[in-house]
Amino acid sequence: MNGNLPKDTIERILVSAESLFAENGYQGTTLRQITRQAKANLAAVNYHHGDKEGLYLEVLTRRIRPINQERLARLNEAEAQAGGGLVPLEKIFQILAEPLFVLCADPDGCGQLSARLLGRCLVDPLPFMGDFLAAEFQPVMARFGQALRRHTPTLPPADFLWRLNFVVGALQHTLASLHHVKDLTQGICQHHDHAAALASFVQFAVRAYEPDLPVARDMDR
């Protein structure tokens, strides 16, 4: 669908759209704002992306798909290295989260905006995103769920899935609000300390799947 539209024009549109969507949200961003910042005309956006929804999904796709491909490739490699044994919990959660924190640390300055946009779209997805999110994330979560399930074969399915939901939700919220973490923690945590954030997330996530953690029904006693 690119036609003869110059690649640099397409790139400017996508970069401008990503930054504006991250800063202002989907509803707070107009195509005219994007084209003004990208120094492109509205016809170029309509021709290449169809409409604002199409542009939004393409912005997300070009960030999400490489991250998920890296996650799956690294998980496959870790399982191959384990030779049929268990991949350590720490390794599983590092593979899940590290590509996102690497994105946050992107030296071109766009990484944190990209991560914020991803976090925002996952924490509060728009109505038209259902099929897109299912296609991009369900296969990935199923694979990581399989790897985690091997560590907790006797954990009731509902408890297992709730814990996975809480862990993934914590990661999504962190991405969406990382730029506020300094204020939220009164300066104790810094948004640019991605290594510390990753290490803390992995420690938190591993604890959710440790075998001595009581299941939900036991906590009512």
How many domains does one find in the chain?
2
**Do residue 80 and residue 161 come from a single domain?**
yes
Q: Is residue 126 part of a domain?
A: yes
> What is the CATH number for 165?
1.10.357.10
Q: What is the mean pLDDT of the chain?
A: 86
For residue 146, give its domain range.
Answer: 63-220
**Do residue 8 and residue 68 come from a single domain?**
no
**Do residue 11 and residue 98 come from a single domain?**
no
**Do residue 103 and residue 205 come from a single domain?**
yes
**Do residue 46 and residue 119 come from a single domain?**
no
Q: Is residue 183 part of a domain?
A: yes
Q: Is residue 57 part of a domain?
A: no
pLDDT in tens, 92-114: 999 999 998 888 777 565 677 78
**pLDDT of 218 above 70:** no
CA distances from 32 to 40, 44, 129, 189 (A): 9, 11, 22, 37
pLDDT in tens, 134-171: 999 999 999 999 999 999 999 999 999 999 999 999 99
